[in-house]
Structure 1
């Protein structure tokens, strides 16, 4: 962690650091809350002068704060005197002038400059913030899952601060180990402030240090150090969020953060959950399978752990999304896990998101999907995933303008995520805004040239623009990067549209052969037949996909099937699914 050069004020055995917000006695930190500390700074700035109670009230609380100022100020001064060990009857530091105010009477070294006085009187306006990856101090690379997982958990806790835009995990993790300066990082993420910190584990204890930096002038605003038993880690996260909120004069939203203390967790269950998150976020089929094993272990250790059920639900949903088994097996499992999470704790936003995905992709319960999306958004307005789910639902329902506006909110929270930038290309493709879709996919590929989904979505729009050779090249590259059978089927379709029937038929036979070895969706085979113009086989397979509830059947309203819209068989399928047509 970087260390800023502090501006120090000394008196007696004490030393005040106006940048870190710390009071020290003979080098040892003295615990002092924000209001008493600000009162001390004002008295030091005006040493030897009477500071009225009204002036102190204005410094300690913003104009729109509703508080009993008289009682609050008395409490702050009493805490300050206790920290300084100052006797109000025989003061060495703070003299009381009844009915008027207070005066600092001790000699002071290094008084604050005019610049520092201006800063103290005009705290910076902070409306956006990023929590950078916590630095792992254990020295053990095998503990990275713990520091990464706790970073994500801390982001979720800080995201509950009302009226604050908090950058999501996907974007901030790209700065892990980066050597960029904090002002540069803040500019790239478009935030006012940065939280950076360290984490260390010792057996069943966890220690976190954190500091808040105002990015425009690289100013240190606050730092804190926390040490707890691992089973109290949820309460620790909540405390850090509360302390950050107090520093930027905002509140943790009580509607999103229950007033009851955070539940204790089984230490090994929490650790298993962090391992599950670590593997889930790699987003490969093999890693998703590992993540479900860790989440299941967490649940077995702590059956009341709602977040573990929610995380398991998400991993099961992604396995279904990747077609790693029949939809009839994977999506009901995802739903059961989400329902169990909400039975334990209705405020877990991730479970609402997972349930919304099941409603959309498997049950075609459109009213239920929207209700779950909106509840998740209410619980977690700073979660980019929540905005993406809602935008995806709106897009599938052909509410394209609303979907695009909603998706832009997700990008504000995750501005440099190639995953979300690329998926925006798919949202724009569905809206038939192909040039914009191509631009978004290219932007994602500038961040990660090997991001298969961006190549996939780019190929879809290139096909609609009639650029078939370019579309084929992108599909081939996406497949070479592991995009799987769905991408292979789309490549076969474009080969057929480009007049290369032999290549299309070869891919068709390849998929049929593969279906005897692993699960291949009838929808994917139907895609190739549609390209070849065999509509009888196309609709026979689409009917099978409908009966199996293959999630990609909802793509029937996407541009690549526009030529089928006049067909009564297309209209009947779309009606039964409940899609707009």
Structure 2
């Protein structure tokens, strides 16, 4: 047993002995184990990639999971036994870790209880937070500038990009793709890591790259990672998985990395018959990884009867980098980026910078840096203005190096959206979709942009496609439900709600969309019920307070709205909240005052043009002036919004 194993076992024994004691402190652990505080943090980080506090919490939750399946104890009793006596905290932490509340987890069949879903990042999705995210514990204290506060990008850069987009895109129609236009389908399951935990990034990265190459094929539906991740370690059969994801083929694989030597194996399975079509293996050096990845993708394309044009073949054969060391650092950067924590994003930048230092022409590394800076803005980790400039710089560099880089165009589109440059945002996202038409998140983001400018029926087309590609990702189903609701297609929305409740009923953000389903129909008691469900799942989500107060005011119960208006800090981050509360009270003048303030440099509610909250002022000159101020007073779409 090495020293790391010895330390880990001693730490686990200590936590086990004090499992029911919620006051177990870092100081106690240091004293019992005879280590300094800094050494403790370093050793736990090296062993688990977690902080000490999070490791202890996860240890407690793993014990709770076992007790839920092996005992008849109530959840509150189990929480006390594992040292998390607060029922709300126990439910919240357990749901975050295992994707289901304790009560729901207990009802799950045995084959699903080992599945830990990927973290759902709700802060970056504008659908899920109807006003400025990331408020502190002090009610609505401003932590970062709101989306409408950003100044224009550098004029020279924008002018150059605008000319480029005009030449590239012009007025050509872009054709959206529906489910019927896919002629085959595949899901790539999580690859098994045959190496150490430190090489997990490699197996994840190989799987991601196979998916990225297949994304060039417009006629294949490739299920996104956020949906297939749910099947990691599952006991479900191949036909079961395929039926749930709606695909004909599955791809399984394994990866082993040791130094610059790698061993890969992939297996294509025809799901209904559970029949292996072929198995391909590779053993060699990292420098030949892309050749193998490209070969696998082209072989899959052939099996699925896809015709490859010379342009697509050229894209498939083009390696992101010919420098193996740079490519390895890029895969590490992607691994850290997916965590979306402050530390993870910082580590991602370190790895991506190393990749660029090794290969200055690595376009995808620059595009990923742009994404990191953008996520830092969304999460409130860094100054918005400086990060936005860095994001723009890296996205433009990626496009200069690779004029068909879909990820870079998608990031630029979101930047323009934050500045209310709607025509540029929509056009740039359409370019991203031309180069990567089957990217679920880009289709989803584009649908939200379309909703923002009032094109709700077209928004539904793109969120429908996103949902076909990524059927289990709650963020996308939430957005699709919102699009149906804002379009007034309530019967379709009701059907989505039924399925979404089954899949995502433990995700607190789900109840934003269900609440707005009822708000759009003036069914305020039902909306209140949904908002209160969401608040119970996440009591720390302060935005629920505003919308609960709004709904109560519409129900002739104005006390909560008036109380909040008295207590809200008088700063620009709360202009949106005040406008919503005055809307609930039916005070048109004050509602418009704060919408006007928001348009001049504060915060505005999302989807202002189509929001049901402001119907009572939508025909007034002052409201139209607000829309004009933020570029939403006229259509910004080409005459035919189709992408081909």
Alignment of 1:113-512 (within 5 A): 127-138=184-195, 140-161=196-217, 163-256=219-312, 258=314, 261-264=318-321, 270-278=327-335, 280-281=337-338, 287=341, 290-302=344-356, 303-321=360-378, 328=385, 330-360=387-417, 362-479=418-535, 480-481=537-538, 484-512=541-569
Q: Residues 354-385 of structure 1, C-alpha deviation per residue, up to 9 Å, x if partnerless?
A: 1112222x232233223222221221122112
Could you tell me whether the CA contact under 8 Å between 1:171 and 1:416 is conserved in 2?
A: yes
Could you tell me whether the CA contact under 8 Å between 1:327 and 1:551 is conserved in 2?
A: no
Cα 1:573–1:148, aligned 2, differ >3 Å: closer, same or farther?
same
Cα 1:135–1:297, aligned 2, differ >3 Å: closer, same or farther?
closer
Report deviation, 1:153.
2.4
Report deviation, 1:520.
3.6
Could you tell me whether the CA contact under 8 Å between 1:162 and 1:253 is conserved in 2?
A: no
CA–CA separation in structure 1 for the residues paired with 2:519 and 2:586: 16
C-alpha root-mean-square deviation of aligned residues, in Å? Answer: 3.1
The 10-residue stretch of structure 1 (483-492 or 364-373) with the greater mean CA deviation from structure 2: 483-492
Could you tell me whether the CA contact under 8 Å between 1:387 and 1:410 is conserved in 2?
A: yes
With normalisation by structure 1, the TM-score equals: 0.69
Q: Residues 77-102 of structure 1, C-alpha deviation per residue, up to 9 Å, x if partnerless?
A: xxxxxxxxxxxxxxxxxxxxxxxxxx
Match of 2:608 in 1: 555
Match of 2:628 in 1: 575
Match of 2:597 in 1: 544
Could you tell me whether the CA contact under 8 Å between 2:409 and 2:432 is conserved in 1?
A: yes
Structure with the larger RCO, 1 or 2 (CA within 8 Å, 6+ apart) = 2
Could you tell me whether the CA contact under 8 Å between 1:472 and 1:494 is conserved in 2?
A: yes
CA–CA separation in structure 2 for the residues paired with 1:278 and 1:350: 16
Secondary structure of the corresponding residue to residue 216 of structure 1: coil
CA–CA separation in structure 2 for the residues paired with 1:278 and 1:415: 23
- Return the index of the structure with the highest Cα Rg: 1
CA–CA separation in structure 1 for the residues paired with 2:309 and 2:377: 34
CA–CA separation in structure 1 for the residues paired with 2:630 and 2:394: 24
With normalisation by structure 2, the TM-score equals: 0.63
CA–CA separation in structure 2 for the residues paired with 1:327 and 1:542: 22
Could you tell me whether the CA contact under 8 Å between 1:268 and 1:301 is conserved in 2?
A: yes
Report deviation, 1:468.
2.4
Cα 1:308–1:277, aligned 2, differ >3 Å: closer, same or farther?
same
Report deviation, 1:470.
3.1
CA–CA separation in structure 2 for the residues paired with 1:251 and 1:562: 50
The 10-residue stretch of structure 1 (395-404 or 287-296) with the greater mean CA deviation from structure 2: 287-296
Q: Residues 428-460 of structure 1, C-alpha deviation per residue, up to 9 Å, x if partnerless?
A: 122123453354244223212222221111112
CA–CA separation in structure 1 for the residues paired with 2:513 and 2:249: 34
Report deviation, 1:189.
1.5
CA–CA separation in structure 2 for the residues paired with 1:551 and 1:143: 44
Secondary structure of the corresponding residue to residue 195 of structure 1: strand
Report deviation, 1:126.
7.4
Cα 1:219–1:429, aligned 2, differ >3 Å: closer, same or farther?
same
Secondary structure of the corresponding residue to residue 262 of structure 2: strand
